Chains A and B, each alone.
Chain A
Amino acid sequence: MTPIVAIARNTVREAVRERIALVAVAFGAALVAASQVLSPLALGVGPKIVTDFGLAGSSLLATLLAITLGSTLLHKELERRTVYAIMAKPIRRAEFLLGKFGGLWATSAGLLLLMSLMVMALVGLGYREAPWVLTGSILLTLIELGIVTAFVVFYSSFTTPGLTAFFAAASVLAGHFADDLLYFGKQGGSRALEIATTVVYWVLPHLTLFNARGLVSHGEPVPPERILFAASYGILYLGALLVAACAIWDRRELR
């Protein structure tokens, strides 16, 4: 087993033993309860509402989990001094950080998949609709979750848990409104503002690219070329964040 996989496995194990799966159980119960309440009011569009509500809810919960678990990721290691014994082993600092990223992504992705399976089961069994249409949207959300996790790891490599959570949440929120920012910059009438908003637009992650929930809730599958493009963009974006995080973490003094 490589050091990255070993660190990742330990990160997952820690999260699992903190009983984060209970979040998925609570989500499942809430989903079933909500579908029972909303279906009679939906006037024939019950599957659409359940799909929309279920996929958005699972994405939000997984994102919140990645931010809350990840914001203390490195801080806890330094505060409890567990990192000293680990970093004295023959591993690179970058390997440690990538292992932490991998473990956090795997944990939040596992939770997302668990919750998504519940949505698919409800759509398939409860409404007799084809649940596999949802897979494209779930895949895109998994990639988005990778970007969120990379943001958390990036901020936690140099700042406190509180600021990490704040910056990561702000980055995710801004990433969902990147197109609006560009639009407002163009409408502002100032050339400087337009340039500034354009720069910020290109720096921010284009998270709307990963939102195909509207499409699948109408029973339309996500085109493979969109998944391919979004995956390429997502991997490049999170890769750049991780390179920056590793460079910062590598220079950090473990006093």
Chain B
Amino acid sequence: MTPTSGPARPAPARPAADSAMRAVEPLSLLTLAGVTKSYRDPMTLRSFTAVEDVGFTLERGEIFGLLGPNGAGKTTTIKMILGLVRPTRGTIRLDGRDPHDPRARKKLGYLPESPCFYDHLTAAEYLGLVGDLFQIDPAVVKRRSGALLERLGLAGHARKPLRKYSKGMTQRLGLAQALLNEPTLLILDEPMSGLDPIGRAEVKQILRDERSRGATVLLSSHVLAETEAICDRVGILSGGRLLESGSVTGLLAGGVREWEVVVDGIKPGGLADLEALGFRPVGVGAHQVIRVAEGNALQELLGHLVRSGAFVHAVEPRRETLEEHFLKALEGTARSPKGDA
């Protein structure tokens, strides 16, 4: 993902050869430039900015996580990408087209947040309707529906009315309908919501499989531990603004935060010696755990432990998690969207 800021500038004139090169370059699957969405309260006429000056580009074959607390603007951003809501300012290009152009959504799969489907239909009928909307051959729809329902553990419930589905089953059906057209871009709004740990693991595997197939995935989430495990890149939204964006490894490049040394067999008086050197051993089960923040201190600790005859079980580096990074990024920013009346 390449972050951008402000409206897209007109491209400078290019020589003919360069233009020819550009013609064969793959277009970005999704581009947002300077996208802002404001609403006006019809009663008070006060303006409310849900999303402000958001810009990024999504390349093919990556899993990108749009992260942020509740009210950060994730769902509004997704709705603008889908053409459900029009941006007040800025441009969005979905597969090179305006999102309001139905052709832009031909190879798009979308799972809404807390999805709701027609409860008078069965799962098989709903997938049939979705196939008709994509104008896919009914025989192909039938084949793909069967495979998807099987893959998502709903094969035994294909003929059950959706009003009898649990939240988790509805979420799985949401994923099935999003995958029916074998999309090149999959947009998932809180895909882990309502799923048990097994369901979450299955969804993560499906997302990895889709990436292997060549699909690009844009997912919004506030379950950061889940996101960290599957996303190639993330963008952190807060108060409608994109605070930070980049690859997960890039954002967490701060490296090792501290080391955790697990020790056993400390001789009598050894603990007091360690404390005298400034270390603070903590008893965890049969072991002592000592945390050190700096490399020099680690060297000193390990030397002391070896000399004193203690047994070092493990030295584990502890890195910053995405959750810790996320909370750090949010520090000092307003958590609520802005009113600019």
Contact = CB atoms under 8 A, between A and B. Distances in A.
A82 B117 contact: yes
The interface size bin for chain A is 20 to 34
A81 B114 CA distance: 9
Contacts of B104: 90
B121 interface: yes
Select the residue from A1, A85, A254 with max chain B CB neighbours within 10 A.
A85
Nearest to A77: B118
Interface stretch (B131-139, B217-225, B238-246, B317-325): B131-139
Nearest to A84: B112
Contact of A90 (B111, B118, B125, B134): B134
Contacts of B85: 253-255
B89 interface: no
B110 A88 contact: yes
B103 A85 contact: no
13 contacts: A1-B138, A2-B135, A3-B132, A6-B132, A10-B121, A13-B120, A17-B120, A81-B115, A85-B177, A88-B112, A253-B85, A255-B84, A255-B85
B115 A85 contact: yes
B110 A6 contact: no
Contact of B134 (A10, A13, A89, A254): A89
A6 B108 contact: no
B183 to A, nearest CB: 10
A50 to B, nearest CB: 36
Contacts of A89: 105, 130, 133-134
A87 interface: yes
Interface string B133-147: 111001000000000
A14 interface: yes
Interface string B19-34: 0000000000000000
B86 interface: yes
Given A1-B132, A81-B116, A88-B84, A254 B121 contact: no
Given A85-B112, A253-B85, A92 B102 contact: yes
Contacts of B83: 87
Given A85-B112, A255-B79, A91 B120 contact: no
Contacts, number: 79
B29 to A, nearest CB: 15
The interface size bin for chain B is 20 to 34
Given A3-B135, A10-B118, A91 B102 contact: yes
Interface in B120-176: 120-121, 125, 129-130, 132-135, 138, 174
A90 B135 CA distance: 9
B106 interface: yes
A88 to B, nearest CB: 4
Nearest to A14: B120
Contacts of A255: 39, 79, 84-85
B179 interface: no
B248 interface: no
Contacts of B108: 88, 90
Q: Per DSSP, are chain B's interface residues mostly helix, strand or loop, or mixed? A: mixed
B82 interface: yes
A244 interface: no
Contacts of B118: 10, 14, 82
Given A85-B112, A88-B82, A254-B79, A6 B133 contact: yes
Nearest to A16: B120
Contacts of A3: 132-133, 135
Nearest to B161: A17
Contacts of B115: 81, 85
Select the residue from A14, A82, A88 with max chain B CB neighbours within 10 A.
A88
A10 B86 CA distance: 27
Contacts of B110: 84-85, 88
A81 B116 CA distance: 6
B87 to A, nearest CB: 11
Nearest to B187: A88
A163 interface: no
Contacts of B114: 81
Given A7-B133, A85-B117, A85-B174, 17 more contacts: A3-B132, A3-B133, A10-B118, A13-B120, A14-B120, A87-B82, A87-B83, A87-B84, A88-B82, A88-B108, A88-B110, A89-B134, A90-B105, A91-B102, A92-B102, A254-B84, A255-B85
A2 B39 CA distance: 35
A90 B120 contact: no
